[in-house]
């Protein structure tokens, strides 16, 4: 039940469910151990942890690029450990760090790889194929008139990554698996790609399992974050805010780092209940107004940009109050009590 007394909406059903999943290699190495993990429909879950912790192994067991030693893996209610692995992979979008585009095919042909494998392109015709490819390129921020006829070597790293995402979406899969998808580009392009992917996710509502080694990327993108420890142990599975505010153990606390308090600014939104009234505020003290859905990081950035001790908070055209640095501190303290 929320603060207004309205019953909370029921949680979406699980789209991906791993139950008792383990992977042990012939030499005795335990990559993943006794993993229970559930990803709800439409949720973006990030798997994060140090090298060798089993996060990529977990991802690849979902589409059976790696076979689990034991346990059950369900996708949309079906046990995929007994499914045809080729058909399974064609039904799930897959994006990797090095993209894996076919160098001898144009961007348009690369994007339509899976639909053509499934025979959809032949049934729809070449014109419909081209229209679908162009629609997807526009969706990921590429101009079809410029890029559809190019080859992968004629694209930048960021452009190739966008084509990889478009290809993964081409058959309209309900699930996307992404293995370090933004790791091979420079930091500026990486942030831009993250923003574009968050926009796509808001529009499309896919179920996404994303592997990253970067805790900042995980808390920025994920609805929930799964932190893996050595030996494939799931150390904590929580929302970004809860993970940063309440690490489950010393390993998780060390992994999220001493700057977790700063990271919490990125995942904590302005609380209207903790704003101060406008009465008595001088216009010279007030910076630009930001929306009530803004994060504390965005609010502080606006204060610093305008060099003002407070900023206005609005809900559309309605003015709600002002936020001060003290208000930021109070909001962070309140989030510790409610997370």
Instruction: Give the pLDDT confidence of 82-126 residue by residue, as tens digits.
Output: 899 999 998 898 888 766 788 899 999 888 887 777 665 544 556
Q: Do 275 and 260 have their domain in common?
A: no
Q: Do 246 and 297 have their domain in common?
A: no
Q: Do 93 and 42 have their domain in common?
A: yes
Instruction: Give the pLDDT confidence of 196-211 residue by residue, as tens digits.
Output: 888 888 888 999 999 9
Domain edge (last residue) among 265, 282, 306: 265
pTM of the complete model = 0.79
Domain edge (last residue) among 245, 265, 285: 265
Q: Do 107 and 80 have their domain in common?
A: yes
Q: Do 173 and 304 have their domain in common?
A: no
| Chain-centre distance for alpha carbon 112 | 24
Domain edge (last residue) among 265, 284, 312: 265
Nearest to 101 by CA among 90, 116, 87, 111: 111
Q: Do 256 and 275 have their domain in common?
A: no
Q: Do 223 and 242 have their domain in common?
A: yes
The residue ranges of DSSP E strands in the chain, in sequence order, are: 14-24, 30-40, 44-48, 70-75, 78-79, 93-96, 175-179, 207-212, 224-229, 233-238, 286-291, 310-315, 318-323
Total domains in the chain come to: 2
The CATH number of residue 321's host domain is 3.90.1280.20
Number of C-alpha atoms within 13 angstroms, CB side, residue 166? 28
Lowest model confidence (mean pLDDT) among 8-12, 77-81, 170-174, 242-246: 8-12
Domain that includes residue 173, residue range:
14-265
Q: Do 316 and 243 have their domain in common?
A: no
Distances (CA, A) of 43 to 121, 128, 209, 308: 29, 30, 8, 38
pLDDT at 55: 94
Q: Do 282 and 162 have their domain in common?
A: no
Q: Do 199 and 329 have their domain in common?
A: no
Q: Do 255 and 303 have their domain in common?
A: no
In a domain, 214, yes or no: yes
């Amino acid at each position: 039940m929320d603060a207004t007394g309205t019953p909370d909406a029921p949680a979406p059903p699980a789209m991906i469910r791993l139950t008792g999943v383990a992977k042990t290699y012939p030499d005795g190495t335990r990559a993943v151990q006794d993993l229970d993990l559930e990803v709800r429909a439409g949720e973006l879950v990030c798997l994060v942890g140090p090298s060798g912790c089993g996060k990529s192994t977990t991802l690849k067991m979902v589409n059976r690029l790696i076979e689990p030693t034991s346990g059950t893996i369900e996708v949309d209610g079906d046990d995929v450990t007994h499914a045809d692995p080729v058909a399974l992979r064609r039904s799930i979008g897959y994006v990797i760090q090095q993209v894996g585009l076919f160098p001898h095919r144009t961007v348009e042909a690369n994007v339509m790889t899976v639909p053509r494998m499934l025979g959809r392109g032949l049934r729809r015709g070449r014109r419909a194929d081209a229209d679908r490819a162009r629609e997807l390129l526009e969706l990921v921020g590429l101009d079809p008139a410029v890029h559809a006829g190019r080859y992968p070597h004629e694209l930048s790293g960021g452009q190739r990554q966008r084509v990889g995402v478009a290809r993964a979406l081409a058959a309209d899969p309900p699930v996307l698996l992404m293995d370090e998808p933004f790791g091979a580009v420079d930091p500026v392009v990486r942030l831009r790609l993250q923003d574009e992917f968050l926009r796509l996710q808001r529009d499309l509502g896919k179920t996404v399992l994303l592997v990253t080694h970067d805790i900042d990327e995980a808390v920025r993108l994920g609805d929930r974050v799964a932190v893996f420890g050595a030996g494939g142990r799931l150390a904590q599975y929580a929302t970004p805010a809860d993970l940063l505010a309440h690490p489950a153990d010393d390993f998780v606390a060390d992994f999220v780092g001493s700057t977790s308090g700063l990271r919490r600014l990125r995942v904590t939104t302005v609380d209207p209940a903790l704003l101060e009234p406008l009465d008595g505020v001088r216009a010279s003290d007030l910076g630009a107004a930001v929306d009530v859905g803004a994060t504390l990081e965005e609010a502080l950035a606006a204060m610093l940009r305008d060099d003002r001790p407070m900023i206005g908070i609005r809900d559309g055209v309605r003015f709600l109050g002002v936020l001060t640095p003290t208000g930021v501190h109070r909001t962070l303290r309140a989030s510790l009590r409610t997370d």
